[in-house]
Amino acid sequence: MSVAAEVLPTAGVIATLDALGLSTSTFYRLQQPSRPSRRRTPPRALSAAEQQAALDALHEERFQDRPPAEVVATLAEEGRYVGSERTLYRLLSRHGEVRERRNQLVHPKHAKPELVATAPNQVWSWDITKLLTTTKLVYLYLYVVIDIYSRYVVGWLLAERENAALAARLVDEVVARSDVKPGCITLHADRGAPMRSKLLSQLLAELDVNKSFSRPHTSNDNPYSESHFKTLKYHPGFPRKLRNLDDGLAHCRPFFAWYNDEHHHSGIELLTPSDVHFGRADAVLKQRHDVMMAAYAQHPERFVHGPPRLRQLPSQVAINPPSTSPAAATESCSTAPSPATSASSTTPSTEVYPQAQLSSQDSVH
């Protein structure tokens, strides 16, 4: 309508409104000043005296814990009628006297997790997902611990059950294998039973690993694990259903080797998680940039946006970025894992994820 009002002096009302697809009646109605609507009092409404009598009846001590329906019934038995049930509710609402009288339970407010990682081995996220099997109502359980900065899977376990003992064994072996410094890493998870178990809480306290939890029913608080599970289940080489535990291991081992060492992740400038986790990112990005600059030198006209820019990793990765700037990580906590003490990208998957026997069926990888 504001556009129509601007061009009306030169183009005319009808022609302008037709061109804009607007209604003539609507235009003229909007030009009229708005009038406050006044609802007429229905003839059957209670008078002021009758309304006060109804309120006085409702305020009687014997009716202080009684609903209007019971008030109407009781007064009728006494030969009185002050108004219908709906009328009494309307009067109470008008005077602010209607509320939930029951002691309703209120869910506790959980703090939003705010985690920031500026280097590998500062924040890990872990979760458990079900994998379908060919047997109805029988599942395999995949435990995965992922570094949110590098997206590197630092450990995983496939089992036929979900419990706190397996979760604790996985975390214990992954922390020992990664050689992280005490107090320098936070382990984030949702509020599943194994994650909140006393056994795992005691282990994290002994290892001096900080713990963090998502808010209930808030999948956005654990986005990296959720995204990783989608990558797993949508991978063309991963079957929809597995036959048994051995079949699951036969598919999980090559998948995690591919994911860590070959998968070019879109969230980390199309680098592999291994490159970022073991400090090779800058060298790889520099090599790519040199290739692009050589191509630009030969055919600059093909680069319509100018010379290629040197890509860089994000300075930080966060789960619910805090409103204030996070405290800088100490030097002892921000050092990337050394490739000399970690598995290289050319190491076979059976060595990247060495097996540590949990039982006859379950092992950490």
The count of structural domains within the chain is: 3
DSSP line for 303-323 = -TT-SPP-----S-EEES--S
305 burial via Cβ count (<10 Å: 0-12, 13-18, 19+): exposed
Q: Which of 233, 280, 273, 254 is nearest to 146 (CA)?
A: 273
Candidate from 3-12, 74-83, 92-101, 224-233 with smallest mean pLDDT: 3-12
Q: Is the residue at 324 inside a domain?
A: no
pLDDT tens, position by position, 23-82: 878 777 777 777 776 778 888 889 999 999 999 999 999 998 889 999 999 999 999 999
Per-residue confidence band for 359, with pLDDT thresholds at 50, 70 and 90:
very low
Whether 205 and 162 map to the same domain: the answer is yes
Whichever domain contains 230, its CATH number is 3.30.420.10
Quick one: DSSP state of residue 105?
Answer: -
Q: Is the residue at 241 inside a domain?
A: yes
pLDDT tens, position by position, 303-352: 999 999 999 999 999 999 987 766 555 556 655 676 544 444 433 232 33
pLDDT given for residue 6 in this prediction: 65
Q: Which long-range contacts (CB under 8 A, 24 or more apart) does 101-109 make?
A: 101/65, 107/216
**Whether 255 contacts 238, CB under 8 Å:** yes
pLDDT given for residue 212 in this prediction: 96
Residue 290 backbone phi and psi in degrees, to 5: -65, -40
**Whether 187 contacts 126, CB under 8 Å:** yes
- Compute CA 14 distance to the chain's CA centroid, rounded to the nearest angstrom: 52
Q: Is the residue at 289 inside a domain?
A: no
Whether 223 and 153 map to the same domain: the answer is yes
- State how far the Cα of 25 lies from the Cα of 19, in Å rounded to an integer: 15
- State how far the Cα of 194 lies from the Cα of 179, in Å rounded to an integer: 24
pLDDT tens, position by position, 273-317: 999 999 999 999 999 999 999 999 999 999 999 999 999 999 999
- State how far the Cα of 24 lies from the Cα of 130, in Å rounded to an integer: 61
pLDDT given for residue 357 in this prediction: 35
pLDDT given for residue 338 in this prediction: 61
DSSP-derived pairing of the beta strands 115-117 and 317-319: antiparallel
- State how far the Cα of 17 lies from the Cα of 7, in Å rounded to an integer: 10
**Whether 312 contacts 285, CB under 8 Å:** yes
What mean pLDDT do residues 88-103 have?
A: 86
Q: Is the residue at 204 inside a domain?
A: yes
What mean pLDDT do residues 12-16 have?
A: 75
Q: Which of 253, 222, 223 is nearest to 158 (CA)?
A: 253
Q: Which two tokens stand for residue 276?
A: 């970022």
What mean pLDDT do residues 4-29 have?
A: 72
pLDDT given for residue 64 in this prediction: 84
Q: How far is CA 261 from CA 22, 60, 150, 153, 254, in A?
A: 60, 78, 12, 10, 10
Quick one: DSSP state of residue 121?
Answer: T
pLDDT given for residue 341 in this prediction: 45
Whether 120 and 257 map to the same domain: the answer is yes
Whether 178 and 248 map to the same domain: the answer is yes
pLDDT given for residue 27 in this prediction: 76
Q: Is 88 helix (H, G, I), strand (E, B) or coil?
A: helix
**Whether 54 contacts 88, CB under 8 Å:** yes
Whether 175 and 236 map to the same domain: the answer is yes
Whether 60 and 209 map to the same domain: the answer is no
pLDDT given for residue 17 in this prediction: 76
Range of the domain at 153: 115-266+344-364
pLDDT given for residue 349 in this prediction: 31
pLDDT tens, position by position, 133-153: 999 999 999 999 999 999 999
pLDDT tens, position by position, 183-223: 999 999 999 999 999 999 999 999 999 999 999 988 889 99
Q: Is the residue at 330 inside a domain?
A: no
Q: Is 263 helix (H, G, I), strand (E, B) or coil?
A: coil
Whether 219 and 351 map to the same domain: the answer is yes
E-strand ranges in the chain read 115-117, 123-132, 139-147, 153-159, 186-189, 210-213, 317-319, 356-357, 363-364
Q: Is the residue at 278 inside a domain?
A: no
Residue 176 backbone phi and psi in degrees, to 5: -65, -40
